[in-house]
Amino acid sequence: MNYSHRPVLLAEAVAALSSTNFSNNAVLIDGTFGRGGHSKALLNLLNSQARLIAFDKDLSALTNAKQISDPRFTIIHSSFAKMAQYAKPNSVDGVLLDLGISSPQVEEANRGFSFRRDGPLDMRMDTSQGITALQWLEQASCEEITEVIKTYGEERYAPAIARAIVALRTAEQLPKTTLGLAQLIAKVVHSREPGQDPATRTFQALRIFINHELDDLRHGLEAALTLLKPGGRLVVISFHSLEDRIVKQFMQTHAKVVMPRKLPIRAKDLPPAELKLISRIRPTTNEVALNPRARSAIMRVAEKQAPQI
């Protein structure tokens, strides 16, 4: 089936990157190609000498990317965490990271991301490698399951959910499908925020853990800072507090100048911070009305500073 996917903050992300006035041989990185919305919009702005390098772990995203017959465009089957392997330091004009999961991934039941559609408990972004969520639940200890659900889902019922999973596993009745797991969770989680399914936080936690999403984000941010040339922009769109907290702290940390202790140095003699904070943008009410999944999105923009000579 074909599912529509509406890129979140599309115009705002493109504007944030293009405001740096791309050079003739500009190089951009789209760290999460998805269904190509951001990549296609950026290609429309680039001249014939520019390059756009896109990354995605999802094989279905690669299939969509192959439909773009543009010599300026390259798609790489890998995590954006490894972008430093494909570009030189200080050579990139802009990096865009659109985090999270796409609508088609959620809607395709066989991917195992949705607690509303019955499918196998897979949850892998890259189905060509790694263990599935079910394989992990079949062997993880109660303590490990608790820690993952608590840390990556911020779920206060994590211990009870983990105990219920292990109890059914011991009885050889562990659910092997998404709806089965969601029903198990619903029996344990008796209170939840209005409009939120009891399984929301646990499914988020398992997905993040199985795909190493937060580790990839940390490595990707560091790589982006290395690759960006002075004046280049880093644009990151996140969809939950765990992601946004990492992005916010990274940008704020690199936007500070650390004053050396006990050294006779004046503040004006210090080198500039590595990053300059540009903006923090939320979707408009109109965008949220058209695309409810945009409601939690936050876009942060920072610009790499030139070193002092």
CATH of the domain at 139: 1.10.150.170
Query: Is the separation of the CB atoms in 24 and 309 below 8 Å?
Result: no
- 73 and 29 within one domain: yes
Per-residue pLDDT of 295-309, as tens digits, reads 999 999 999 998 865
pLDDT grade, residue 2 (50/70/90)?
very low
Residue 112, domain member (yes or no): no
Q: Looking at 188, 210, 232, which one is the last position of a domain?
A: 210
In sequence order, the 6+-apart residues with CB closer than 8 A to the CB of 254 are 225, 273, 274, 275, 302
Q: Is 149 domain-assigned?
A: yes
202-255 pLDDT, tens digit each: 999 999 999 999 999 999 999 999 999 999 999 999 999 999 999 999 999 999
Distance between CA 35 and CA 107 in Å, rounded? 14
Is there a domain that residue 22 lies in? yes
Residue 4 lies in a domain: no
Looking at 187, 210, 233, which one is the last position of a domain?
Answer: 210
Same domain, 91 and 222: yes
Looking at the fold, whether 244 and 279 belong to one and the same domain comes out as yes
Where a domain ends, among 210, 245, 265? 210
**Is the whole-model pTM more than 0.85?**
yes
Summarize pLDDT for 68-108 with one digit per residue, the tens. Answer: 999 999 999 999 999 999 999 999 999 999 998 887 788 88
Residue 135 lies in a domain: yes
Is 248 domain-assigned?
A: yes
List the structure tokens of 61: 């995203």
CATH number at residue 255: 3.40.50.150
Residue 25, domain member (yes or no): yes
Residue 193 has pLDDT above 90, yes or no: no
- Residues contacting 308, CB < 8 A, separation 6+: 271, 272
* Residue 176 structural domain: 127-210
Q: Specify whether 235 is located in the same domain as 206.
A: no
217 Cβ contact partners less than 8 Å away, ≥ 6 residues apart: 81, 97, 99, 243, 246, 247
Cα end-to-end span (Å), the chain: 56
